[in-house]
Structure 1
Amino acid sequence: MTPSADDRAVTVTVTPTGERTPAGEPVRVTASGGTLTSVTVTDTEGHKLAGKVAADGRSWVSVRKAVPGAAYAVTATTRTDGGTAKTTEAAFTTAPADKVNKVDWRPGTGTGTGTTVGVAQPISLVFDHPVKNRAEVEKQLRITTSNHTEGSWGWIRDWSGRDRVDWRPKSYWKPGTKVTLNAELNGTDSGAAGGWFVRDYTTTFTIGARQIVEVDLDRHQLTLVRDGETVRRIPVSGGTPGGDKRSWRGTAVLMAKEGTINMNSETVGLADAYNKMVDYSMRLTWSGMYAHAAPWNARWFGNANRSSGCIGMSDADAAWFYGQVRPGNPFEITGKDTKGVVAPGNGFGAWNLSWTEWQQKSALR
Structure 2
Amino acid sequence: MRSRSAGRFAVALVALSLVLSACQGIAPAGTAGRAVNGSGLISATPTVTPSPTPTSTPAVLDVFPADLATGFAPNVPVTVRASSGVLGAVTLADAKGQTVGGKASSDGVWTSSDVLRPSTVYTLTMASTGPDGTETTTSSTFTTLTPKVTATYGLIPRGGVVGVGMPVIVQFDTGVITKAQRAEVEKRVKVTTVPAQEGAWGWLDNRQLMWRPKNYWFPGTKVTVSTPLHGLQTGADKWIAADDQTSFTVGSSMVSSVDMKAHTMIVRRDGVALRTFKVSTGKPGPLTETRNGVKVIIERNSAITMDSSTLVPPIPKGAPGYYKIDTKWNLRLTWTGEFIHSAPWSVNAQGTQNVSHGCTNMAPADAEWMFNNSRMGDIVKFTGSSRPFRPTEGIGVWVYDFVGWKAQSALA
Structure 2 length as normaliser, TM-score?
A: 0.78
- Out of 263, 267, 272, the position equivalent to 1:220 is 263
Aligned-residue offset at 1:288: 0.4
Conserved? CA contact 2:87–2:126, under 8 Å? no
The verdict on how the C-alpha distance between 1:62 and 1:147 changes in structure 2, with shifts beyond 3 A counting, is farther
Letter in 1 for 2:392: G
**Deviations 1:15-64, CA, capped at 9 Å, x for gaps:** 2233212332233333453353x43222123322133444x593433332
Conserved? CA contact 2:204–2:396, under 8 Å? no
- Out of 120, 142, 162, the position equivalent to 1:92 is 142
What is aligned with 1:208? 251
Letter in 2 for 1:175: P
Paired with 2:221 and 2:310, the residues of 1 have a C-alpha distance of 37
What is aligned with 1:152? 200
Conserved? CA contact 1:39–1:60, under 8 Å? yes
What is aligned with 1:280? 329
What is aligned with 1:309? 358
- Whether 1:27 aligns to 2:72 is no
Aligned-residue offset at 1:196: 0.8
What is the SS of the residue equivalent to 1:26?
coil
What is aligned with 1:111? none
Conserved? CA contact 1:251–1:352, under 8 Å? yes
Aligned-residue offset at 1:78: 4.4
What is aligned with 2:3? none
Matches within 5 A, 1:1-365: 9-17=58-66, 18-20=68-70, 21-31=72-82, 33-36=85-88, 38-54=89-105, 56=106, 58-78=108-128, 86-108=136-158, 114-131=159-176, 132=178, 133-157=181-205, 163-192=207-236, 195-268=238-311, 269-270=314-315, 271=319, 272-335=321-384, 337-340=385-388, 342-365=389-412
Paired with 2:275 and 2:167, the residues of 1 have a C-alpha distance of 26
Paired with 2:253 and 2:79, the residues of 1 have a C-alpha distance of 48
Aligned-residue offset at 1:164: 2.3
Structure 1 length as normaliser, TM-score?
A: 0.87
The verdict on how the C-alpha distance between 1:9 and 1:331 changes in structure 2, with shifts beyond 3 A counting, is same
The verdict on how the C-alpha distance between 1:181 and 1:83 changes in structure 2, with shifts beyond 3 A counting, is farther
The verdict on how the C-alpha distance between 1:81 and 1:150 changes in structure 2, with shifts beyond 3 A counting, is farther
**Deviations 1:126-149, CA, capped at 9 Å, x for gaps:** 323332222222222222222332
User: Structure 1, unaligned stretches of length 5 or more?
Assistant: 109-113
The verdict on how the C-alpha distance between 1:332 and 1:58 changes in structure 2, with shifts beyond 3 A counting, is same
The verdict on how the C-alpha distance between 1:57 and 1:174 changes in structure 2, with shifts beyond 3 A counting, is farther
Paired with 2:195 and 2:167, the residues of 1 have a C-alpha distance of 16
What is the SS of the residue equivalent to 1:64?
coil
**Deviations 1:322-349, CA, capped at 9 Å, x for gaps:** 11111011111111x3422x21111101
Letter in 1 for 2:149: K
Aligned-residue offset at 1:279: 0.3
**Deviations 1:278-318, CA, capped at 9 Å, x for gaps:** 00111000000000111111112222221111111111111
* Structure showing greater Rg: 2
Conserved? CA contact 2:58–2:131, under 8 Å? no
Paired with 1:200 and 1:219, the residues of 2 have a C-alpha distance of 48
85-94 or 211-220, which deviates more: 85-94
Paired with 2:280 and 2:265, the residues of 1 have a C-alpha distance of 9
Conserved? CA contact 1:27–1:66, under 8 Å? no
RMSD: 2.6
Conserved? CA contact 2:60–2:130, under 8 Å? no
The verdict on how the C-alpha distance between 1:57 and 1:203 changes in structure 2, with shifts beyond 3 A counting, is farther
Letter in 2 for 1:171: N
Paired with 2:198 and 2:107, the residues of 1 have a C-alpha distance of 37
What is the SS of the residue equivalent to 1:320?
helix
What is the SS of the residue equivalent to 1:75?
strand
223-232 or 83-92, which deviates more: 83-92
Paired with 1:171 and 1:101, the residues of 2 have a C-alpha distance of 32
Aligned-residue offset at 1:252: 0.6
User: Structure 2, unaligned stretches of length 5 or more?
Assistant: 1-51
311-320 or 26-35, which deviates more: 26-35
